[in-house]
Amino acid sequence: MRIFAALVVALLSFSSFAADSVTTKPSVASASNYLEGKDYVLLDEPVRPQDPSKIEVAEVFSYLCGHCFHFEPLVSAWAKTQKMDVAFVQVHASWSPSMVAYQRGYYTAILLKVKDKSHQATFDRIHRESRELATAEDWAENLSGFGVTKQAVLSSYNSFAVNSLLAQADARVRGYRISSTPELIVDGKYRVTSRLVASHEDMLKVAQFLVDKVRAERAVKK
């Protein structure tokens, strides 16, 4: 029952993608019509990408977010189609106490270098199997199936390294001024939000437009 309560808290913490899409505009027609303030948001203060030499696309998500669960296969496939000058990264948000364990587990997987193997499986366990991952022991059990020991997970879960990753993620989310999940940040300055599109597919179309826009702008400056 605890995972049900956590999911309720997460849903209340985030703006609903479905509700937003009903109250905003329909699917964006074409890339030539994508406009700032209408289809995407320009941040007042850019957030420095992890690697400024790349065109960074950052997805802000939460394991407890049902929309993120459905978005994951789409954004993962999209990321694989990008050119070498694009860096796709994911940032786990945390706005309530029930979300912290999931954020901490995600960054533990990154620290132990098993995130690529465990990421979709973790989503499936939470949303398909109704599994709760609310403690270090839960995460040790979850991640131990991907090539690391339970002790390694337990030692890392509350470590300084993971705490540092959480602090960096929290700072980025604040800088992005995220209002719902999932959301995409392109080049640290353009925010693609569910409030302005009708579907997950449209989010990726707008993101692609912005990636191409940044690439063209950089080419002119060379």
pLDDT class of 222 with cuts at 50, 70, 90: confident
pLDDT class of 30 with cuts at 50, 70, 90: low
Closest CA to 141 of 129, 130, 154, 128: 154
Phi, psi of 211 (to 5 degrees): -60, -45
Q: What is the pLDDT of residue 221?
A: 82
Q: Give me the number of domains the chain comprises.
A: 1
Each residue of 74-116: pLDDT tens digit? 999 999 999 999 999 999 999 999 999 999 999 999 999 999 9
* Range 169-181 average pLDDT: 93
pTM over 0.95? The answer is no
Average pLDDT, the chain: 89
More confident position, 159 or 195: 159
Domain of 56, in residue numbers: 2-221
Q: What is the pLDDT of residue 31?
A: 60
| CB-count exposure of residue 68 (10 Å: 0-12, 13-18, 19+) | buried
More confident position, 202 or 33: 202
CATH of the domain at 130: 3.40.30.10
**Which residues face 86 on adjacent strands?**
55
- Alpha-carbon distance of 59 to 128, in angstroms, equals 22
- Alpha-carbon distance of 114 to 107, in angstroms, equals 10
According to the 3-state scheme, what is the secondary structure of 72-92? HHHHHHHHHCCCCCEEEEEEE
